[in-house]
Chains A and B, each alone.
Chain A
Amino acid sequence: MLSKKQARAFFLGGTVVTFLIFIGLTVYSLSKAQDQTNYENITEQVVRGKDLWDTNNCMGCHTLLGEGGYYAPELTKVIDRRGEGYIKAVLMTPNPWEPNGRKMVAYGFSEEEAQDLIAFFDWIGKIDLNGFETVVSPLAKDKN
C-alpha cells in the first residue's frame, strides 16, 4: 500500500517534472524560429493600437483570438470582413453605435487613434492561428 512518503514524492516529483517540461515547451514555442505572429511587423502604431485595446477594455465585450466577453463580435479578421472605412466610422462616431439593437460605447476616437487600432487589427488578422482563422465566424464564409 502506498505510504505517505511515497505520496509526497509522487506530488513533488510529478510537479517538478511537469513544470520543467512546461517551461521547456514555453521557451520552444516562443522562440523566434517558431513565431507565427509576424513579430517583426509590430510597429509603434500596432503597439499604440494594443494600448487602446487594453485601456478601453474592448475585450470586456468583444473577443480577439477567441478570448474576451462573448457579447460583441470576434474581431480577429475584422478588417477582411468589414473593411477599414466601416471600422473607422464605428471607432470615431460620437454617437452611440447600436448594431442590431446591441449598444456599443461611443468612444469617439480621433483619426490617429482609429488608425492605430486598425494597424493593430491588421497585425492580428495575419497571425497563423492553427486553423482557427478559417472557422471563426463569419469570416470563414469567404474561405470555403
Chain B
Amino acid sequence: MKYKSQKVAYWFFALSMLLFVLQLVYGFIMGFAHAGFDGLHDIIPFNTAKAVHLNLLVVWLLSGFMGAAYYIIPEEAQHELVSVKLAYVQLISLALVGVAAIIGFHFNIWEGRKFLEIPRGLDYLVVVNVLLFLGIILTTLIKGKRRTTTALVLTMGLFFAALLYLPGMLPFDSQVMDSFFRWWVVHLWVEGVWELIMGGILSFLLIKLTGVDREVIEKWLYVIVGLTFLSGVLGTGHHYYYIGVNKIWLIVGGIFSALEPLAFLAMALFAVNMYRKGEKKHPNKIALFWTLGAAIVSFVGAGLLGFAHTLPQTNLYTHGTLVTAMHGHLAFWGAYAMIVLAIISYALPNLTGRKLYDGARGRAAFWLSNIGMVGMTVAFGVAGVAQVYLERIMKLEFMEVQKMIEVHFYVLILCATVFLTGIVLYIIDFVKYGQPTDEALEIKN
C-alpha cells in the first residue's frame, strides 16, 4: 500500500467476510425449508431468514464497497484519508446498525418491503452513517493532489447510492406507490449506480493489474457507465409491467431492458480486451481471476439471465416466481460479490505485505464458488420454469407445485455446499494473510 490510512479498508473487508458467511447460513435455512425441512421454523421462520439473507447481502456488499473506496481513494487522490478515526467510527456504527437490524428481524421488528426491511428508525442511522462515509471520501478527494475519472466514477456511484436510499423512506398509503418507489431504490441501485461503483473498482483493478494506460481504460469506463444508465434507468420499467401502473411501461421497460445486456457485454469485452492489451504481468493472478470473472459472470447473470425474463410477454408468466431467484443469484454474485472479492484479493497482499496469491487454495476458492453458484442458478432455473409451467399454464395449486419441485432444492443445497466450500477457502486465505501493517508501506522514491 502507498498510504497508511488505507489500512482501515482491511476492517471493512473483514466485516464484509463475516456478514457474507452469516448470509450463507440463512441461505441454507431457506434452501432446507424449500426442500421440506423447516425444523427451525419456530425460531427462524422463512420471512425472518429471507429478510436476514437479503439485508446481509446489502450490508456486506456495502461494507466491501466502502472498504474498496477507503483503499482506492487515497491512492487515486494521492492523499491520506482525512480522518482514520472517523472512518473507524463509521465502521463500528455500520456494524452496529447492521447487527441491530438483523436481531430485530428475529423479533418481528421490520418493514415488510423486500430488500428494504430495515425499520424506519434505523434508516435514519443508516443515512447518518453513509453521510459520514461520504464526508470522509469527498474531503479526501477535494484535498487530494489528483482527481481521476476512476475515483470520480466510484465516488459518484457511492453518492448516488446514498441519495437513492431516500425514495425508499417515503411513506405511502398505496401498496402500488410503495412498490413503485421501492424499485427506485432497489433497481436504480443494482442496475444503475452500483454499476458505477463496480465500474470504478473494475477500472482501478485493470489499471493496476494490466498496466494498460489509464487514459484508455478511463475513456472506456465512461462509455460503459454511459451505456449502463442509458439502458438501466428506463429499464426500471420492467418492474412496473404488472404492479398496477400504466401500460406505457410495457413498451419502455421492454425496449430498454432488452438493451441492458449490451452494457454488461460491453463491460465484459472491456475487461477481457484490456487484459489482452496489457503487457504488464502482475503476479497477483488470483485478483485478475476475480476481476475478469466479475465482468464475465455479471454479463451472464445480470445481462443474459435478466433478459431471459424481462420481455413483457415472458414476464407475464415468470413475474413472482423462482425464475427471479435464478437471475438474482447469478447477477448479484457476478456483478457485486465477485468485484468485492476481486478488490479484497488485490488489496490484501498490499495491506499485509504477505504475498500468498500463488497458492492452490485461492484458485480452488474461485472455481468451487463459481461452479457452485452456476449449479445453484441452474437448480433455481429448473425449479422456476417448472413452477411457471405447472402453476400458470397447467393451473395447479401453489403448494401442489411446491411439493413437485422440492427435488430441485436438494440439487440447490448440494450446489450451495460446493459454493460454501469455495467461500470458506477464500476466507481461510483472508485469515492467513493476517492483519495490515505499516511495514507493508511502499517506500516512496
- Please report A residues at the B interface, Cβ cutoff 8 Å: 2-4, 7-8, 10-11, 14-15, 18-19, 21-22, 25-26, 28-30, 34, 36-37, 39, 42, 46-47, 50, 53-61, 63-74, 99-103, 105, 120, 124, 127-132, 135-138, 140-141
Contact = CB atoms under 8 A, between A and B. Distances in A.
Interface of B: 30, 33-34, 36, 38, 41, 45-48, 50-51, 105, 108, 110-114, 117, 149, 173-180, 215, 218-220, 222-223, 225-227, 229-230, 233-234, 236-237, 240-250, 252, 316-317, 319-322, 324-325, 391-392, 395-403
Contacts of B51: 57, 60
9 contacts: A10-B222, A28-B246, A28-B248, A30-B180, A65-B244, A71-B47, A127-B244, A129-B243, A137-B397
Contacts of A102: 38, 399, 402
B244 A36 contact: yes
A26 to B, nearest CB: 8
Contacts of A55: 108, 110-112
A99 B403 CA distance: 12
Given A65-B244, A137-B391, A137-B392, A100 B174 contact: no
Contact of A140 (B174, B395, B401): B395
Contact of A60 (B46, B179, B227, B241): B46
A15 B180 contact: no
Contacts of A73: 398-399
A100 B403 contact: yes
A66 B176 CA distance: 11
Contacts of A22: 233-234, 236
Nearest to A128: B244
A54 B172 CA distance: 12
Contact of A2 (B47, B218, B223, B400): B223
Given A29-B246, A135-B316, A135-B392, A67 B34 contact: no
B246 A34 contact: yes
Contacts of A70: 320-322, 324-325
Nearest to A120: B175
Contact of B241 (A4, A72, A105, A130): A130
B395 A14 contact: no
Nearest to A39: B174
Contacts of A124: 175
Contact of B395 (A7, A63, A74, A138): A138
A100 B399 contact: yes
A18 B234 contact: yes
The 8 A-B residue pairs with the shortest CB-CB distance, nearest first, are A60-B47, A66-B320, A132-B242, A11-B226, A57-B112, A7-B222, A100-B399, A29-B246
Nearest to B239: A67
Contact of A30 (B111, B177, B230): B177
Contact of A137 (B108, B316, B398): B398
A19 B184 CA distance: 12
Given A14-B229, A124-B175, A3 B392 contact: no
Contact of A29 (B34, B215, B233, B249): B249
A64 B175 contact: yes
Contact of A3 (B175, B219, B229): B219
Contacts of A127: 176, 244
Nearest to A11: B226
A144 B191 CA distance: 37
Point out which of B111, B243, B249, B322 has the most chain A C-beta atoms below 10 A from its C-beta.
Answer: B243
Given A4-B215, A101-B36, A54 B391 contact: no
A49 B316 CA distance: 27
B116 to A, nearest CB: 11
A3 B34 CA distance: 52
Given A30-B245, A137-B392, 7 more contacts: A22-B236, A61-B46, A68-B320, A74-B320, A132-B242, A137-B396, A137-B401
